[in-house]
Amino acid sequence: MKQVFNPYLPSWEYVPDGEPHVFGDRVYVYGSHDRFGAPIFCVNDYVCWSAPVSDLSDWRYEGVIYHKKDDPANKLGIRCLYAPDVTCGPDGRYYLYYAFDFLGEISVAVCDTPAGKYEFYGRVHFPDGHVWGRKSGEPFPFDPGVLTDDDGRVYLYSGFATKVPAVASGFHNLTNEGGVVLELEQDMVTIRTGPDLLFPVKGRPGAFPDHAFFEASSIRKIDGRYCFVYSSEHNHELCCAWADSPKGPFTFGGTLIDLGDLYLEGNEDETHAVNYLGNTHGGMCEIGGQWYIFYHRQTDCSSYARQACAEKLVRTPDGGFRQAELTSCGLNDGPLQGLGRYEARIACNLWSKEGTCRYDAGGRKKIRKIHPYFTQHGKDRESDGDQYIANMRDGAVAGFKYFRLGEASELELELGGRGEGVIRVFTDEAMREEAASLLVSSGGPVGRFTGSFYAEEGVKPLFFRFEGSGSLDFIAFTLRGPRRFTVPAPFSPASPGRGPLRRRI
Specify whether 210 is catalytic.
no
91 is catalytic: no
| Residues 105/123, Cβ–Cβ less than 8 Å | yes
Q: Which of 17, 138, 407, 473 is catalytic?
A: 17
Q: How far are the Cα atoms of 342, 396, 402 from residue 347, in angstroms, in the given order? A: 10, 13, 10
Contact assessment for residue 218 and residue 229, using Cβ atoms and an 8 Å cutoff = yes
Cβ contact 327:317 at 8 Å? no
Please tell me the total number of residues recorded for the chain in this structure: 505
Residue 402: half-sphere exposure toward Cβ, Cα within 13 Å: 24
Cβ(287)–Cβ(22) below 8 Å: yes
CB 353 within 8 Å of CB 394:
yes
Spatial CA neighbour of 82 closest among 275, 279, 256: 279
Which of these is catalytic: 19, 45, 215, 237? 215
DSSP 261-319: -TTGGG---GGG-SS-B----B-EEEETTEEEEEEEEEETTEEEEEEEEEEE--B-TTS
Three-state DSSP at 68 gives helix
DSSP symbols for 343-402 = EGGG-SEEEBTTB--BGGGS-HHHHHTT--EEEESSSTT--TT-EEEEEE-TT-EEEEEE
Q: How far apart are CA 194 and CA 192, in angstroms?
A: 7
Q: How far apart (Å, rounded) are the C-alpha atoms in residues 288 and 53? A: 6
Q: What residues contact 429, with CB distance under 8 A and at least 6 apart?
A: 399, 461, 463, 497, 498, 499, 502
Task: Just list the catalytic residues.
Answer: 17, 215
